[in-house]
A and B are shown apart, each in its own frame.
Chain A
Protein backbone atom coordinates (compact mmCIF):
# COMPACT_ATOMS: atom_id res chain seq x y z
CA UNK A 1 0.00 0.00 0.00
CA UNK A 2 1.52 3.36 -1.00
CA UNK A 3 1.51 6.57 1.00
CA UNK A 4 -1.21 7.84 -1.33
CA UNK A 5 -3.35 4.80 -0.56
CA UNK A 6 -2.95 5.38 3.16
CA UNK A 7 -4.03 8.99 2.80
CA UNK A 8 -6.31 8.99 -0.25
CA UNK A 9 -7.91 12.22 -1.45
CA UNK A 10 -11.41 13.18 -0.37
CA UNK A 11 -13.96 12.34 -3.02
CA UNK A 12 -15.79 15.27 -4.61
CA UNK A 13 -19.41 15.53 -3.43
CA UNK A 14 -21.93 13.93 -5.77
CA UNK A 15 -19.40 11.61 -7.40
CA UNK A 16 -20.78 8.51 -5.66
CA UNK A 17 -24.35 9.12 -6.88
CA UNK A 18 -23.12 9.95 -10.37
CA UNK A 19 -21.00 6.80 -10.67
CA UNK A 20 -23.64 4.45 -9.26
CA UNK A 21 -26.33 5.92 -11.54
CA UNK A 22 -24.07 5.59 -14.61
CA UNK A 23 -23.30 1.99 -13.68
CA UNK A 24 -26.96 1.04 -13.35
CA UNK A 25 -27.67 2.64 -16.73
CA UNK A 26 -25.06 0.29 -18.20
CA UNK A 27 -26.56 -2.81 -16.55
CA UNK A 28 -29.78 -3.24 -14.57
CA UNK A 29 -29.80 -4.48 -10.97
CA UNK A 30 -30.38 -8.22 -10.68
CA UNK A 31 -29.22 -9.11 -14.18
CA UNK A 32 -26.38 -11.61 -13.92
CA UNK A 33 -23.35 -11.55 -16.18
CA UNK A 34 -22.79 -13.67 -18.08
CA UNK A 35 -26.53 -14.22 -18.44
CA UNK A 36 -27.60 -17.75 -19.30
CA UNK A 37 -29.33 -18.13 -22.67
CA UNK A 38 -33.09 -18.10 -22.16
CA UNK A 39 -34.94 -21.37 -22.62
CA UNK A 40 -38.59 -22.32 -22.19
CA UNK A 41 -39.87 -24.26 -19.19
CA UNK A 42 -40.64 -27.15 -21.54
CA UNK A 43 -37.03 -27.20 -22.67
CA UNK A 44 -35.85 -27.16 -19.04
CA UNK A 45 -38.09 -30.17 -18.33
CA UNK A 46 -36.84 -31.93 -21.46
CA UNK A 47 -33.20 -31.42 -20.40
CA UNK A 48 -33.84 -32.61 -16.85
CA UNK A 49 -35.64 -35.70 -18.18
CA UNK A 50 -32.76 -36.42 -20.53
CA UNK A 51 -30.23 -36.14 -17.69
CA UNK A 52 -32.37 -38.39 -15.47
CA UNK A 53 -32.69 -40.98 -18.22
CA UNK A 54 -28.92 -40.88 -18.80
CA UNK A 55 -28.37 -41.64 -15.12
CA UNK A 56 -30.79 -44.58 -15.29
CA UNK A 57 -28.91 -45.96 -18.29
CA UNK A 58 -25.73 -46.13 -16.20
CA UNK A 59 -27.32 -48.28 -13.50
CA UNK A 60 -26.38 -51.93 -13.30
CA UNK A 61 -29.11 -54.52 -12.65
CA UNK A 62 -28.22 -54.67 -8.94
CA UNK A 63 -28.06 -50.90 -8.50
CA UNK A 64 -31.83 -50.67 -8.91
CA UNK A 65 -32.28 -52.31 -5.50
CA UNK A 66 -30.11 -49.70 -3.72
CA UNK A 67 -32.06 -47.93 -0.97
CA UNK A 68 -32.36 -44.27 -1.90
CA UNK A 69 -35.20 -42.26 -0.35
CA UNK A 70 -37.77 -42.89 2.39
CA UNK A 71 -38.56 -46.61 2.15
CA UNK A 72 -37.82 -46.74 -1.57
CA UNK A 73 -35.02 -48.29 -3.54
CA UNK A 74 -34.00 -46.71 -6.86
CA UNK A 75 -36.61 -48.71 -8.77
CA UNK A 76 -39.28 -47.54 -6.33
CA UNK A 77 -38.12 -43.94 -6.71
CA UNK A 78 -38.48 -44.22 -10.49
CA UNK A 79 -41.94 -45.68 -9.83
CA UNK A 80 -42.74 -42.61 -7.71
CA UNK A 81 -41.80 -40.44 -10.70
CA UNK A 82 -44.03 -42.52 -13.00
CA UNK A 83 -46.84 -41.74 -10.55
CA UNK A 84 -46.02 -38.02 -10.58
CA UNK A 85 -46.11 -37.93 -14.39
CA UNK A 86 -49.44 -39.79 -14.38
CA UNK A 87 -50.86 -37.24 -11.92
CA UNK A 88 -49.59 -34.40 -14.09
CA UNK A 89 -51.37 -35.89 -17.12
CA UNK A 90 -54.58 -36.04 -15.07
CA UNK A 91 -54.09 -32.46 -13.87
CA UNK A 92 -53.61 -31.27 -17.45
CA UNK A 93 -56.87 -33.02 -18.22
CA UNK A 94 -58.53 -31.00 -15.42
CA UNK A 95 -59.02 -33.93 -13.01
CA UNK A 96 -59.90 -32.26 -9.65
CA UNK A 97 -58.83 -35.29 -7.63
CA UNK A 98 -55.11 -34.63 -8.13
CA UNK A 99 -55.37 -30.97 -7.13
CA UNK A 100 -55.06 -31.68 -3.41
CA UNK A 101 -53.59 -35.17 -3.54
CA UNK A 102 -50.40 -35.65 -1.53
CA UNK A 103 -47.23 -35.76 -3.59
CA UNK A 104 -45.95 -38.90 -1.83
CA UNK A 105 -49.26 -40.57 -0.89
CA UNK A 106 -50.71 -40.27 -4.38
CA UNK A 107 -47.71 -41.95 -6.00
CA UNK A 108 -46.77 -44.51 -3.35
CA UNK A 109 -48.76 -47.34 -4.90
CA UNK A 110 -47.01 -46.94 -8.27
CA UNK A 111 -43.68 -46.76 -6.45
CA UNK A 112 -44.30 -49.99 -4.55
CA UNK A 113 -45.69 -51.74 -7.64
CA UNK A 114 -42.22 -51.68 -9.20
CA UNK A 115 -40.85 -54.24 -6.74
CA UNK A 116 -39.94 -57.45 -8.56
CA UNK A 117 -40.37 -56.01 -12.05
CA UNK A 118 -37.48 -56.02 -14.51
CA UNK A 119 -35.75 -52.60 -14.14
CA UNK A 120 -35.86 -52.11 -17.92
CA UNK A 121 -39.66 -52.22 -17.74
CA UNK A 122 -39.73 -49.55 -15.00
CA UNK A 123 -37.39 -47.36 -16.95
CA UNK A 124 -39.44 -47.80 -20.16
CA UNK A 125 -42.66 -46.88 -18.30
CA UNK A 126 -41.07 -43.75 -16.85
CA UNK A 127 -39.66 -42.75 -20.26
CA UNK A 128 -43.08 -43.22 -21.84
CA UNK A 129 -44.72 -41.12 -19.11
CA UNK A 130 -42.16 -38.31 -19.50
CA UNK A 131 -42.55 -38.36 -23.29
CA UNK A 132 -46.32 -38.17 -22.87
CA UNK A 133 -45.85 -35.11 -20.65
CA UNK A 134 -43.81 -33.49 -23.42
CA UNK A 135 -46.50 -34.37 -25.98
CA UNK A 136 -49.26 -32.91 -23.81
CA UNK A 137 -47.51 -29.62 -23.04
CA UNK A 138 -46.28 -29.03 -26.59
CA UNK A 139 -49.45 -27.27 -27.65
CA UNK A 140 -50.63 -26.16 -24.20
CA UNK A 141 -50.73 -22.58 -22.93
CA UNK A 142 -47.77 -22.19 -20.54
CA UNK A 143 -49.65 -19.48 -18.62
CA UNK A 144 -52.70 -21.67 -17.94
CA UNK A 145 -53.10 -22.56 -14.26
CA UNK A 146 -52.70 -26.22 -13.37
CA UNK A 147 -53.52 -27.67 -9.94
CA UNK A 148 -51.81 -30.76 -8.58
CA UNK A 149 -50.38 -32.02 -5.28
CA UNK A 150 -51.50 -28.91 -3.39
CA UNK A 151 -49.91 -26.50 -5.86
CA UNK A 152 -51.71 -24.21 -8.26
CA UNK A 153 -49.21 -22.81 -10.72
CA UNK A 154 -49.04 -21.72 -14.34
CA UNK A 155 -48.05 -24.70 -16.47
CA UNK A 156 -44.65 -23.14 -17.22
CA UNK A 157 -43.82 -22.85 -13.52
CA UNK A 158 -45.09 -26.39 -12.91
CA UNK A 159 -42.73 -27.73 -15.57
CA UNK A 160 -39.83 -25.98 -13.83
CA UNK A 161 -40.96 -27.65 -10.59
CA UNK A 162 -40.87 -30.95 -12.45
CA UNK A 163 -37.37 -30.22 -13.80
CA UNK A 164 -36.34 -29.34 -10.24
CA UNK A 165 -37.69 -32.66 -8.95
CA UNK A 166 -36.05 -34.73 -11.68
CA UNK A 167 -32.67 -33.08 -10.96
CA UNK A 168 -33.16 -33.65 -7.22
CA UNK A 169 -33.98 -37.35 -7.63
CA UNK A 170 -31.23 -37.81 -10.21
CA UNK A 171 -28.85 -36.63 -7.50
CA UNK A 172 -30.51 -38.88 -4.92
CA UNK A 173 -29.60 -41.77 -7.21
CA UNK A 174 -26.08 -40.41 -7.75
CA UNK A 175 -25.55 -40.14 -4.02
CA UNK A 176 -26.94 -43.62 -3.35
CA UNK A 177 -24.64 -45.16 -5.94
CA UNK A 178 -21.59 -43.10 -4.99
CA UNK A 179 -21.46 -41.05 -8.18
CA UNK A 180 -20.52 -37.39 -8.25
CA UNK A 181 -23.38 -34.90 -8.03
CA UNK A 182 -24.62 -33.20 -11.20
CA UNK A 183 -25.35 -29.53 -11.77
CA UNK A 184 -28.10 -28.31 -14.11
CA UNK A 185 -27.01 -26.29 -17.12
CA UNK A 186 -27.06 -22.52 -16.44
CA UNK A 187 -30.27 -21.89 -18.43
CA UNK A 188 -32.23 -24.55 -16.55
CA UNK A 189 -30.68 -23.49 -13.25
CA UNK A 190 -31.68 -19.88 -13.87
CA UNK A 191 -35.34 -20.95 -14.26
CA UNK A 192 -35.04 -22.98 -11.06
CA UNK A 193 -33.52 -20.15 -9.01
CA UNK A 194 -36.06 -17.68 -10.37
CA UNK A 195 -38.92 -19.94 -9.38
CA UNK A 196 -37.49 -20.65 -5.92
CA UNK A 197 -36.98 -16.93 -5.27
CA UNK A 198 -40.52 -16.17 -6.46
CA UNK A 199 -42.01 -18.84 -4.20
CA UNK A 200 -39.96 -17.88 -1.13
CA UNK A 201 -42.54 -15.42 0.30
CA UNK A 202 -45.24 -18.13 0.12
CA UNK A 203 -42.88 -20.61 1.74
CA UNK A 204 -42.22 -18.12 4.55
CA UNK A 205 -45.97 -17.67 5.08
CA UNK A 206 -46.42 -21.42 5.15
CA UNK A 207 -43.53 -21.82 7.58
CA UNK A 208 -45.20 -19.30 9.88
CA UNK A 209 -42.52 -16.63 9.64
CA UNK A 210 -44.36 -13.85 11.49
CA UNK A 211 -41.89 -10.96 11.64
CA UNK A 212 -41.63 -9.28 8.25
CA UNK A 213 -38.21 -9.24 6.64
CA UNK A 214 -36.93 -7.39 3.59
CA UNK A 215 -34.74 -9.97 1.93
CA UNK A 216 -32.07 -9.45 -0.67
CA UNK A 217 -31.25 -12.87 -2.04
CA UNK A 218 -28.03 -13.02 -4.05
CA UNK A 219 -27.34 -16.34 -5.74
CA UNK A 220 -23.86 -16.47 -7.20
CA UNK A 221 -22.41 -18.44 -10.09
CA UNK A 222 -23.99 -19.57 -13.35
CA UNK A 223 -27.81 -19.54 -13.14
CA UNK A 224 -27.77 -17.06 -10.27
CA UNK A 225 -29.10 -13.54 -9.87
CA UNK A 226 -30.32 -11.01 -7.32
CA UNK A 227 -33.85 -10.69 -5.94
CA UNK A 228 -35.47 -8.30 -3.46
CA UNK A 229 -38.59 -9.41 -1.62
CA UNK A 230 -40.49 -8.89 1.59
CA UNK A 231 -41.42 -12.08 3.40
CA UNK A 232 -43.38 -12.88 6.51
CA UNK A 233 -45.86 -10.07 6.96
CA UNK A 234 -46.68 -6.48 6.21
CA UNK A 235 -45.31 -4.29 9.04
CA UNK A 236 -44.26 -0.73 8.15
CA UNK A 237 -40.61 -1.13 9.25
CA UNK A 238 -39.49 -4.67 8.53
CA UNK A 239 -36.06 -6.01 9.38
CA UNK A 240 -33.60 -6.31 6.55
CA UNK A 241 -31.31 -9.13 5.69
CA UNK A 242 -29.02 -9.91 2.79
CA UNK A 243 -28.28 -13.55 2.01
CA UNK A 244 -25.49 -14.46 -0.40
CA UNK A 245 -24.86 -18.04 -1.40
CA UNK A 246 -24.22 -20.03 -4.55
CA UNK A 247 -27.10 -20.88 -6.85
CA UNK A 248 -26.66 -24.66 -6.87
CA UNK A 249 -26.31 -24.84 -3.08
CA UNK A 250 -29.47 -22.81 -2.66
CA UNK A 251 -31.36 -25.18 -4.97
CA UNK A 252 -30.15 -28.13 -2.88
CA UNK A 253 -31.46 -26.32 0.21
CA UNK A 254 -34.81 -25.71 -1.51
CA UNK A 255 -34.90 -29.41 -2.37
CA UNK A 256 -34.25 -30.11 1.33
CA UNK A 257 -31.15 -32.09 0.49
CA UNK A 258 -28.82 -29.97 2.61
CA UNK A 259 -29.33 -27.81 5.69
CA UNK A 260 -28.27 -24.16 5.84
CA UNK A 261 -25.14 -25.37 7.66
CA UNK A 262 -24.08 -27.03 4.41
CA UNK A 263 -24.17 -23.77 2.47
CA UNK A 264 -21.37 -21.28 1.91
CA UNK A 265 -23.24 -18.29 3.24
CA UNK A 266 -22.58 -14.59 3.64
CA UNK A 267 -25.29 -12.91 5.64
CA UNK A 268 -25.70 -9.31 6.68
CA UNK A 269 -28.49 -8.07 8.88
CA UNK A 270 -30.31 -9.96 11.61
CA UNK A 271 -28.92 -13.52 11.75
CA UNK A 272 -32.16 -14.89 13.22
CA UNK A 273 -34.12 -13.45 10.29
CA UNK A 274 -31.70 -15.05 7.83
CA UNK A 275 -32.02 -18.38 9.60
CA UNK A 276 -35.83 -18.11 9.41
CA UNK A 277 -35.78 -17.34 5.71
CA UNK A 278 -33.42 -20.21 4.94
CA UNK A 279 -35.49 -22.61 7.00
CA UNK A 280 -38.56 -21.47 5.05
CA UNK A 281 -36.75 -22.08 1.74
CA UNK A 282 -36.23 -25.74 2.59
CA UNK A 283 -40.00 -26.18 3.05
CA UNK A 284 -40.46 -25.74 -0.71
CA UNK A 285 -39.26 -29.31 -1.20
CA UNK A 286 -41.80 -31.83 -2.51
CA UNK A 287 -39.79 -34.98 -1.80
Chain B
Protein backbone atom coordinates (compact mmCIF):
# COMPACT_ATOMS: atom_id res chain seq x y z
CA UNK B 1 0.00 0.00 0.00
CA UNK B 2 1.36 3.38 -0.99
CA UNK B 3 0.65 6.66 0.75
CA UNK B 4 -1.22 9.30 -1.16
CA UNK B 5 0.95 12.36 -1.58
CA UNK B 6 -0.15 15.07 0.81
CA UNK B 7 0.84 18.00 -1.38
CA UNK B 8 0.21 18.39 -5.06
CA UNK B 9 0.93 21.74 -6.62
CA UNK B 10 -0.89 21.55 -9.92
CA UNK B 11 -0.94 25.20 -10.79
CA UNK B 12 2.68 26.11 -10.33
CA UNK B 13 3.85 28.82 -12.74
CA UNK B 14 6.14 27.64 -15.57
CA UNK B 15 9.23 29.08 -13.93
CA UNK B 16 8.69 26.90 -10.86
CA UNK B 17 8.23 23.71 -12.79
CA UNK B 18 11.74 22.38 -12.91
CA UNK B 19 11.94 18.95 -11.31
CA UNK B 20 13.32 19.73 -7.91
CA UNK B 21 12.25 19.47 -4.35
CA UNK B 22 13.19 16.92 -1.79
CA UNK B 23 16.83 16.80 -0.84
CA UNK B 24 18.63 14.21 1.16
CA UNK B 25 21.43 15.09 3.49
CA UNK B 26 24.58 13.58 2.09
CA UNK B 27 26.20 12.49 5.32
CA UNK B 28 25.09 10.20 8.08
CA UNK B 29 21.43 9.45 8.51
CA UNK B 30 19.69 11.15 5.63
CA UNK B 31 16.60 13.23 6.01
CA UNK B 32 14.11 14.26 3.40
CA UNK B 33 12.71 17.75 3.09
CA UNK B 34 11.10 19.75 0.39
CA UNK B 35 7.98 20.58 -1.54
CA UNK B 36 5.31 18.65 -3.36
CA UNK B 37 5.12 17.85 -7.05
CA UNK B 38 4.56 20.25 -9.93
CA UNK B 39 2.75 19.78 -13.22
CA UNK B 40 6.03 18.83 -14.90
CA UNK B 41 6.74 16.18 -12.28
CA UNK B 42 3.19 14.90 -12.53
CA UNK B 43 3.52 14.66 -16.31
CA UNK B 44 6.84 12.82 -15.97
CA UNK B 45 5.27 10.39 -13.48
CA UNK B 46 2.35 9.78 -15.84
CA UNK B 47 4.79 9.03 -18.65
CA UNK B 48 6.63 6.59 -16.36
CA UNK B 49 3.41 4.66 -15.79
CA UNK B 50 2.69 5.84 -12.22
CA UNK B 51 -1.07 5.43 -11.80
CA UNK B 52 -0.96 7.25 -8.45
CA UNK B 53 -0.11 10.37 -10.47
CA UNK B 54 -3.26 9.79 -12.52
CA UNK B 55 -5.35 9.46 -9.35
CA UNK B 56 -3.81 12.66 -7.97
CA UNK B 57 -4.55 14.52 -11.20
CA UNK B 58 -8.12 13.22 -11.15
CA UNK B 59 -8.69 14.20 -7.51
CA UNK B 60 -7.33 17.68 -8.07
CA UNK B 61 -8.79 18.48 -11.48
CA UNK B 62 -11.73 16.24 -12.37
CA UNK B 63 -14.31 18.67 -10.96
CA UNK B 64 -13.04 21.45 -13.19
CA UNK B 65 -12.94 19.11 -16.19
CA UNK B 66 -16.49 17.95 -15.44
CA UNK B 67 -17.68 21.54 -15.01
CA UNK B 68 -16.08 22.55 -18.31
CA UNK B 69 -17.89 19.75 -20.15
CA UNK B 70 -21.16 20.31 -18.33
CA UNK B 71 -21.29 23.98 -19.28
CA UNK B 72 -21.15 23.06 -22.97
CA UNK B 73 -23.31 19.96 -22.90
CA UNK B 74 -25.82 20.65 -20.14
CA UNK B 75 -26.12 16.91 -19.68
CA UNK B 76 -24.63 14.99 -16.73
CA UNK B 77 -24.19 11.70 -18.49
CA UNK B 78 -22.51 13.15 -21.59
CA UNK B 79 -20.24 15.31 -19.37
CA UNK B 80 -19.12 12.20 -17.47
CA UNK B 81 -18.22 10.56 -20.79
CA UNK B 82 -16.09 13.60 -21.63
CA UNK B 83 -14.32 13.41 -18.25
CA UNK B 84 -13.49 9.77 -18.99
CA UNK B 85 -12.22 10.61 -22.49
CA UNK B 86 -10.04 13.40 -21.15
CA UNK B 87 -8.35 11.37 -18.42
CA UNK B 88 -7.90 8.29 -20.63
CA UNK B 89 -6.25 10.62 -23.15
CA UNK B 90 -3.99 12.09 -20.46
CA UNK B 91 -2.96 8.62 -19.27
CA UNK B 92 -2.48 7.18 -22.77
CA UNK B 93 -0.58 10.15 -24.22
CA UNK B 94 0.90 12.18 -21.35
CA UNK B 95 3.54 13.59 -23.73
CA UNK B 96 0.86 15.63 -25.51
CA UNK B 97 0.71 17.88 -22.46
CA UNK B 98 3.54 20.41 -22.51
CA UNK B 99 4.15 21.87 -19.02
CA UNK B 100 5.95 24.84 -20.59
CA UNK B 101 2.79 25.79 -22.50
CA UNK B 102 0.52 26.12 -19.46
CA UNK B 103 -0.90 24.42 -16.42
CA UNK B 104 -2.33 20.94 -16.47
CA UNK B 105 -5.64 22.39 -15.27
CA UNK B 106 -5.85 24.64 -18.34
CA UNK B 107 -4.81 21.82 -20.67
CA UNK B 108 -7.44 19.43 -19.33
CA UNK B 109 -10.31 21.91 -19.15
CA UNK B 110 -9.63 23.14 -22.69
CA UNK B 111 -9.44 19.52 -23.87
CA UNK B 112 -12.77 18.84 -22.13
CA UNK B 113 -14.36 21.84 -23.78
CA UNK B 114 -13.12 20.76 -27.23
CA UNK B 115 -14.41 17.24 -26.69
CA UNK B 116 -17.76 18.59 -25.52
CA UNK B 117 -18.08 20.87 -28.55
CA UNK B 118 -17.15 17.93 -30.81
CA UNK B 119 -19.89 15.93 -29.13
CA UNK B 120 -22.44 18.67 -29.75
CA UNK B 121 -21.42 18.94 -33.41
CA UNK B 122 -21.57 15.22 -33.89
CA UNK B 123 -25.01 15.10 -32.26
CA UNK B 124 -26.21 17.92 -34.51
CA UNK B 125 -24.96 16.04 -37.56
CA UNK B 126 -26.71 12.89 -36.41
CA UNK B 127 -29.99 14.74 -35.88
CA UNK B 128 -29.63 16.46 -39.25
CA UNK B 129 -29.01 13.13 -40.97
CA UNK B 130 -32.11 11.68 -39.33
CA UNK B 131 -34.13 14.69 -40.33
CA UNK B 132 -32.94 14.55 -43.92
CA UNK B 133 -33.57 10.87 -44.13
CA UNK B 134 -37.07 11.44 -42.80
CA UNK B 135 -37.74 14.23 -45.28
CA UNK B 136 -36.42 12.28 -48.27
CA UNK B 137 -38.29 9.11 -47.44
CA UNK B 138 -41.38 8.90 -49.66
CA UNK B 139 -44.23 9.93 -47.38
CA UNK B 140 -47.53 8.13 -47.27
CA UNK B 141 -50.29 9.98 -49.08
CA UNK B 142 -50.82 13.31 -47.41
CA UNK B 143 -53.88 13.54 -45.29
CA UNK B 144 -53.86 17.07 -44.02
CA UNK B 145 -52.84 20.53 -45.10
CA UNK B 146 -49.69 20.42 -42.86
CA UNK B 147 -48.38 17.30 -44.60
CA UNK B 148 -48.93 18.85 -47.98
CA UNK B 149 -46.98 21.94 -46.99
CA UNK B 150 -44.08 19.85 -45.54
CA UNK B 151 -43.88 17.68 -48.66
CA UNK B 152 -43.84 20.76 -50.86
CA UNK B 153 -41.09 22.35 -48.70
CA UNK B 154 -38.92 19.23 -48.92
CA UNK B 155 -39.38 18.90 -52.65
CA UNK B 156 -38.46 22.53 -53.05
CA UNK B 157 -35.27 22.11 -50.96
CA UNK B 158 -34.18 19.09 -52.99
CA UNK B 159 -34.90 20.73 -56.35
CA UNK B 160 -32.99 23.83 -55.30
CA UNK B 161 -30.01 21.68 -54.32
CA UNK B 162 -30.15 19.76 -57.62
CA UNK B 163 -30.08 23.04 -59.51
CA UNK B 164 -26.72 23.87 -57.90
CA UNK B 165 -25.07 20.71 -59.28
CA UNK B 166 -22.77 20.91 -62.34
CA UNK B 167 -24.76 20.34 -65.54
CA UNK B 168 -23.36 16.85 -66.24
CA UNK B 169 -24.29 15.66 -62.73
CA UNK B 170 -27.65 17.43 -62.71
CA UNK B 171 -28.61 15.70 -65.95
CA UNK B 172 -28.02 12.17 -64.61
CA UNK B 173 -29.85 12.93 -61.33
CA UNK B 174 -32.89 14.29 -63.15
CA UNK B 175 -33.02 11.30 -65.45
CA UNK B 176 -32.54 8.78 -62.64
CA UNK B 177 -34.71 10.29 -59.97
CA UNK B 178 -37.26 12.55 -61.62
CA UNK B 179 -37.81 10.45 -64.77
CA UNK B 180 -37.19 7.05 -63.12
CA UNK B 181 -34.57 5.69 -65.56
CA UNK B 182 -32.13 2.91 -64.55
CA UNK B 183 -28.40 3.57 -64.63
CA UNK B 184 -28.06 1.72 -67.94
CA UNK B 185 -30.90 3.75 -69.46
CA UNK B 186 -29.35 6.99 -68.18
CA UNK B 187 -26.00 6.04 -69.77
CA UNK B 188 -27.74 5.25 -73.06
CA UNK B 189 -29.77 8.47 -73.00
CA UNK B 190 -26.74 10.68 -72.32
CA UNK B 191 -24.38 8.70 -74.54
CA UNK B 192 -21.77 7.82 -71.90
CA UNK B 193 -20.51 4.47 -70.53
CA UNK B 194 -22.56 2.97 -67.74
CA UNK B 195 -19.59 3.21 -65.30
CA UNK B 196 -19.32 6.94 -65.96
CA UNK B 197 -23.04 7.39 -65.36
CA UNK B 198 -22.70 5.56 -62.02
CA UNK B 199 -19.74 7.61 -60.86
CA UNK B 200 -21.45 10.91 -61.85
CA UNK B 201 -24.52 9.81 -59.91
CA UNK B 202 -22.40 8.91 -56.87
CA UNK B 203 -20.63 12.26 -56.92
CA UNK B 204 -23.93 14.09 -57.35
CA UNK B 205 -25.53 12.29 -54.40
CA UNK B 206 -22.55 13.04 -52.16
CA UNK B 207 -22.79 16.73 -53.04
CA UNK B 208 -26.55 16.76 -52.49
CA UNK B 209 -26.08 15.14 -49.10
CA UNK B 210 -23.58 17.77 -48.10
CA UNK B 211 -25.75 20.65 -49.31
CA UNK B 212 -28.89 19.36 -47.62
CA UNK B 213 -26.98 18.67 -44.39
CA UNK B 214 -25.77 22.25 -44.35
CA UNK B 215 -29.24 23.66 -44.98
CA UNK B 216 -30.76 21.49 -42.26
CA UNK B 217 -27.99 22.37 -39.78
CA UNK B 218 -28.52 26.07 -40.50
CA UNK B 219 -32.25 25.75 -39.91
CA UNK B 220 -31.74 23.72 -36.67
Which residue numbers of A lie inside 8 Å of B, CB to CB?
Answer: 4-5, 8-12, 15-16, 18-20, 22-24, 26-34, 214, 216, 218-221, 224-226, 228, 240-242, 244, 246, 259-269, 271-272, 274-275, 278-279
C-alpha gap A259/B25 in the complex (Å): 9
Which residue numbers of B lie inside 8 Å of A, CB to CB?
Answer: 1-6, 19-26, 29-34, 36-37, 41, 44-45, 47-55, 58-59, 62-64, 66-68, 70-71, 76, 80, 83-84, 87-88, 90-95, 105, 109
C-alpha gap A158/B199 in the complex (Å): 66
**CB < 8 Å neighbour of A226 from B5, B49, B88:** B49
**CB < 8 Å neighbour of A267 from B32, B51, B52, B83:** B32
When distances are taken between beta carbons in the complex, the residues of chain A under 8 Å from B34 are: 265-267
**CB < 8 Å neighbour of B84 from A18, A33, A226, A266:** A18
**CB < 8 Å neighbour of A23 from B3, B19, B54:** B54
C-alpha gap A269/B7 in the complex (Å): 11
C-alpha gap A29/B23 in the complex (Å): 27
Q: Is the CB of B63 within 8 A of A29?
A: no
Q: Is the CB of B54 within 8 A of A265?
A: no
Q: Is the CB of A22 within 8 A of B84?
A: yes
List, sorted by A's number, 19 A–B pairs whose CB atoms are closer than 8 Å: A9-B66, A19-B83, A19-B88, A22-B87, A23-B51, A23-B87, A26-B92, A33-B94, A216-B52, A221-B48, A244-B37, A244-B45, A246-B44, A259-B26, A264-B20, A265-B23, A266-B36, A267-B32, A272-B29
**CB < 8 Å neighbour of A220 from B1, B48, B66:** B48
Q: Is the CB of A218 within 8 A of B32?
A: no
C-alpha gap A221/B19 in the complex (Å): 11
C-alpha gap A12/B84 in the complex (Å): 12
Q: Is the CB of A275 within 8 A of B37?
A: no
Q: How far, in Å, is B106 (CB) from chain A's closest CB?
A: 10
C-alpha gap A31/B6 in the complex (Å): 25
Q: Is the CB of A279 within 8 A of B30?
A: yes
**CB < 8 Å neighbour of B48 from A18, A19, A225:** A225
When distances are taken between beta carbons in the complex, the residues of chain A under 8 Å from B33 are: 271
C-alpha gap A274/B23 in the complex (Å): 11
Complex: chain B residue closest to A7, CB-CB? B67
When distances are taken between beta carbons in the complex, the residues of chain A under 8 Å from B29 are: 272, 275
Of A225, A226, A241, most buried by chain B (CB within 10 Å of CB) is: A226
Complex: chain A residue closest to B38, CB-CB? A266
Q: Is the CB of A226 within 8 A of B50?
A: yes
Q: With A32-B48, A267-B32 in contact, do A261 and B76 touch (Cβ < 8 Å)?
A: no
When distances are taken between beta carbons in the complex, the residues of chain B under 8 Å from A279 are: 30
Q: Is the CB of B45 within 8 A of A218?
A: yes
Q: How far, in Å, is B157 (CB) from chain A's closest CB?
A: 41
Q: With A216-B2, A269-B3 in contact, do A9 and B45 touch (Cβ < 8 Å)?
A: no
When distances are taken between beta carbons in the complex, the residues of chain A under 8 Å from B32 are: 265, 267, 271-272, 274-275
**CB < 8 Å neighbour of B5 from A11, A268, A274:** A268
Q: Is the CB of B95 within 8 A of A19?
A: no
Q: How far, in Å, is B173 (CB) from chain A's closest CB?
A: 46
C-alpha gap A264/B35 in the complex (Å): 12
C-alpha gap A145/B81 in the complex (Å): 51
Q: Is the CB of A9 within 8 A of B87?
A: no
Q: Is the CB of B31 within 8 A of A272?
A: yes
